[in-house]
Structure 1
Amino acid sequence: MKIERIELQQLHMPLRFRFETSFGSTVMKDLLLVSVYGEGGVGHAECVAMPDPYYNEETTETAWHMMERFLVPKLFANPIETPEDVDRLFAPVRRNNMAKAVLEGAIWDLYSKQKGISLAKALGGEKSVIDVGISIGIEPTVGQVLDKVERHLGEGYKKIKVKIKPGFDVEVIRSIRERFGDDVPLMADANSAYTMEHLDVMKELDQYGLIMIEQPLAHDDIIDHAKLQKELRTPICLDESIHSVEDARKAIELGSCKIINIKVGRVGGLTESKRIHDFCQAHDIPVWCGGMIESGVGRAHNIAITTLPNFTIPGDTAASSRYWEEDIVEPGVELVAPGQMAVPDRHGIGFTVNPRAVGKYVIRSVNFRP
């Protein structure tokens, strides 16, 4: 595979609404779009790093620096035959997983296009349709959360994820159950907002039949999560704590979780995502694909990885129109049936990047050549 040019663009895309989590709120998505050109084709991927180091240690600025200073030069200086070569090439660079993932993802897209197959097929996926859920942020009132739950249930989403934080947790979950009943597939996402001192809150949440409580404790913890899981019937799902298949192995062996959320950017790419998927499948740990408020490019990669068989829980890949007035891909990433998305069968990610739309949002760009 000959890489002839790599284009890095920074975009500012305004969200249709404010999205709040326990660590902050977002109204403008700051994203990096990477395009890798070679042998007449182009592959695209999206870096999911945020402008501030609150979800993890990376930011859009650090990811840009890592690509420019270290990762892109490695790609030009070494032969690349398959996307797995990129994973091995980047292995000596510690962490910086989101910077690694976006370059590897663009090469996965280019590779699958050159092979004349979809990205899903290149990864080994076989599904033609995937189930998807919705993520609802922290709102000023419980009533506003209930209104959003009602609307998204009407749209047929297969899982309702609600963000929680101390002081905005038990009441909102209880209110959802009282209004919509016990059959709604409901989960709570804490984004590391709690400690073991909140055990009483966790035990209150435990009575509401949740699918899972996601990452209740520290972003780098697997020890206290194991202690907490022993106290709860509700499965704990780990997100921020899992950066590699080794992290997954240790967490599973310790009993720190019963479910794992695989985010391609967080774990360093599609190759590592497959490894984690395979390990979890072998140990009867279901997985699902979390979201990072991606544009259609990132959503396309999420759809592709979700076609692997152990992705048995609906992910966060909701319709683009929920977030954007205009996405940067054509066609839009939209539901084809209530709570379902079709897996593209076109080559690569299956969506075309719209340069006019990109031009509306781009604030910085650079091209790298060998």
Structure 2
Amino acid sequence: MKIESVELRYLRVPLKAPFETSFGRFSVKDCVFVTVFSDGVKGYGESVAFPAPYYNEETTETVWHVLESFLIPQLTGKEVNTPADVSALLAPVRRNYMAISSIEAAVWDCYCKQNRISLADALGGKKQVIEVGVSIGIEPTVDLVLKNVERFVEQGYKRMKVKIKPGFDVRLVEAIRKRFGDGLPLMADANSAYTLRDIDTLKQLDDYGLMMIEQPLAHDDIIDHAVLQKQLRTPICLDESIHSVEDARKAIELGSCRIMNIKVGRVGGLTNARNIHDICMRHGIPVWCGGMFELGVGRAHNIALSSLPNFTMPGDTSASNRYWEQDIVEPAVEFFRPGMLAVPDGHGIGYEVNYKALDRLTIRKSVS
């Protein structure tokens, strides 16, 4: 396939309710929406970078700049035999994984549509359905978190992830266990809020039967996590620390985690995500797909990725109505039964873009 042109849109989408983590509170989602054109076919991708560099060093504006100034010129007019070629073509660009991922995802979608296959099939996924978990942000009180947990339990979500930070951790988890019992699949996500000085607090979480503690220590660390994992019964899951297959290999060899979260944007695209999945499977490390407030296009890519066999834990691929009054895809991403999503078998991502909604949310647009 020849990449003929690329359209960028800057979208601003209000969340249904504010969402807070240890590194910030969000009430809107800004993102760069990418459309790749090839031989009359459109492929869609979506950047997951935030407006501020708090999750990682990328922002919505840097993604736009890197796409417009470096990535699109590198790809436009080029012949791409498979989407995996994109990683090689963009190899001179260091990091900027979320920018790379957004255009690589669009190439995958376009390629699959041209070849009349689903994205899941192209990636090698075999599942027809996936289980879905939900991420619950920090609230002013424990009671408010409990109300959110209750609401999502009633909706059928298969796993609860609660955000924690120092001073809002053990007491929260204890309250959830007391209210909902030990049978509730529960994990805690720290978003790098702790250090080894907090080890006594983190060890207290061992008493509550958590599935995992996600990224308790520094965002770029795999050394101290290995030290911590040796002292915890609860599995550590790495998120922000893993950007490449090499990061995954080193973390596994060091014993830094027992579970890994794979986010397509964080690792530079679906090709790298699949490769990390494969190395984790070879070493017996289960994986799950993390979420970054994706709209329907990014969510569809996550669903397809989650159809691979080593995604054995419910991911953050929640339904559209978790965050949005109206999504940009048709049909909306919806449960076909509580806590379960069907893996689309249509060509490409399996969803159509609602251009009326897309136009309403577009702040600016550029075509190269």
Give yes or no for the alignment of 1:206 onto 2:181: no
After superposition, what is the alpha-carbon deviation per residue over 1:101-158, rounded to whole angstroms, capped at 9, x for unaligned? 0110000000000110110001110111000100000011100100111111111111
After superposition, what is the alpha-carbon deviation per residue over 1:341-365, rounded to whole angstroms, capped at 9, x for unaligned? 0011110000001110011110011
Distance 1:76 1:144 in 2: 49
Distance 1:360 1:138 in 2: 30
Secondary structure of the residue that 2:266 maps to in structure 1? helix
Shift in Å at residue 217 of structure 1?
0.2
Give yes or no for the alignment of 1:295 onto 2:286: no
| Aligned counterpart, 1:363 | 363
**TM alignment of 1:102-251, pairs within 5 A:** 102-251=102-251
| Aligned counterpart, 1:18 | 18
Distance 1:103 1:171 in 2: 42
Distance 1:151 1:78 in 2: 49
Shift in Å at residue 78 of structure 1?
3.5
Shift in Å at residue 76 of structure 1?
1.7
The normalised TM-score by structure 2 is: 0.99
| Aligned counterpart, 2:285 | 285
Distance 1:206 1:57 in 2: 32
| Aligned counterpart, 1:252 | 252
Distance 2:26 2:50 in 1: 10
After superposition, what is the alpha-carbon deviation per residue over 1:24-77, rounded to whole angstroms, capped at 9, x for unaligned? 011010011100011111000110011000000000111111111111011025
Distance 1:15 1:275 in 2: 32
Q: Is the 8 A contact 2:286 2:313 kept in 1?
A: yes
| Paired residue total | 368
Secondary structure of the residue that 1:266 maps to in structure 2? coil
Distance 1:332 1:272 in 2: 27
Secondary structure of the residue that 1:265 maps to in structure 2? coil
Distance 1:303 1:79 in 2: 27
After superposition, what is the alpha-carbon deviation per residue over 1:266-295, rounded to whole angstroms, capped at 9, x for unaligned? 000000001000000000000000000010
Secondary structure of the residue that 2:309 maps to in structure 1? coil
Shift in Å at residue 250 of structure 1?
0.2
Distance 1:358 1:286 in 2: 36
**TM alignment of 1:313-328, pairs within 5 A:** 313-328=313-328
| Aligned counterpart, 2:93 | 93
Distance 2:91 2:165 in 1: 35
Structure 2 residue runs without a partner (length 5+): none
Secondary structure of the residue that 2:76 maps to in structure 1? helix
Q: Is the 8 A contact 2:131 2:315 kept in 1?
A: yes
The normalised TM-score by structure 1 is: 0.99
Q: Runs ≥4 in structure 1, deviation > 4 angstroms?
A: none
Shift in Å at residue 82 of structure 1?
1.1
| Aligned counterpart, 1:34 | 34
Distance 2:190 2:298 in 1: 23
Secondary structure of the residue that 1:117 maps to in structure 2? coil
Structure 1 residue runs without a partner (length 5+): none
Distance 1:192 1:36 in 2: 35
| Aligned counterpart, 1:261 | 261
| Aligned counterpart, 1:48 | 48
**What letter corresponds to residue 59 of structure 1 in structure 2?**
T
Greater Cα shift, 220-229 or 148-157: 148-157
